Amino acid sequence: MFTIRSVREAEFDNLPQIRRERELWGGSIILYRRAWSFVTLSGSAPQLMLVRPHQSRVIAGLKCSLGTLLFGWWSFAGLLSTPRALAHNLSGGLDVTRIYAGPPPPVPGSKEAEELYRELQIASDRIEARGRVGIVITIVLALILFILLVGFVLHYDVPPKP
């Protein structure tokens, strides 16, 4: 889960380019999540994208999710982080335009900053709840697949050798 502090303190290599493109074309700066895993290793990383006014945040999230779909499932921890990342991305990501674009973000402790942080926290909590639903769906599907596989193996009739 992204916290307001982690969003503000994150460093993105593509942020200057995103700011330039936003000045030219407009749009929103959206934070998406990537997940990857391999056997015992797994990780999750934020990714910033500029979504232009005529583009869908969900479609942009789908583009960010392709790598996660391919490389996120390959460990136990990946089975948990991948549905969360997919839910985050496919729900449109987190709009962080007010933090990274235009004038400097509000001074911490000010009323404007508290309002902004509250809005972002609500959006982040909503996305996190969708991620938990994604984990539950993944576990249920894995159990159904396991039951079907066990049922197939137990009921597979091998003819005796003559």
Residue 32 pLDDT class (50, 70, 90 cuts): very high
Three-class DSSP category at 44: strand
pLDDT for 9 equals: 61
Tell me, what's the pLDDT at 98? Answer: 81
Task: Provide the mean pLDDT of the chain.
Answer: 83
Q: Read off the pLDDT band of 8 (50, 70, 90).
A: low
Contacts of 31 (CB under 8 A, 6+ apart): 2, 7, 46, 47, 48, 93, 94, 95, 96
Q: Comparing 87 with 152, which gets the higher pLDDT?
A: 87
Mean pLDDT of the region 136-161: 79
Average pLDDT over residues 23-51: 90
Q: What are the tokens at 113?
A: 């900053």
Q: Which sequence spans correspond to the domains of the chain? A: 4-155
Q: Which residue has the higher pLDDT, 32 or 131?
A: 32
Task: Enumerate the β-bridge partners of residue 126.
Answer: none
> Do the Cβ atoms of 4 and 125 come closer than 8 Å?
no
Sheet holding 94-95, edge to edge: 41-51, 28-38, 94-95
DSSP symbol at 108: T
* Whether 1 contacts 35, CB under 8 Å: no
Q: Which of 13, 22, 14, 4 is nearest to 102 (CA)?
A: 22
Type of residue numbered 83: P
- pLDDT number for residue 159: 65
* Cβ contact 106:153 at 8 Å: no
Predicted confidence (pLDDT) per residue in 39-86, tens digit: 888 888 889 999 999 999 999 999 889 999 899 888 888 888 888 888
Task: Give the pLDDT confidence score for residue 87 in this predicted structure.
Answer: 87
Per-residue confidence (pLDDT) for residue 74, from 0 to 100: 86
Q: What is the mean pLDDT of residues 107-118?
A: 80
Q: What is the pLDDT of residue 5?
A: 57
Higher-confidence residue of 10 and 11: namely 11
| CA distances in angstroms from 151 to 9, 146, 147, 158, 160, listed in the order given | 51, 8, 6, 14, 20
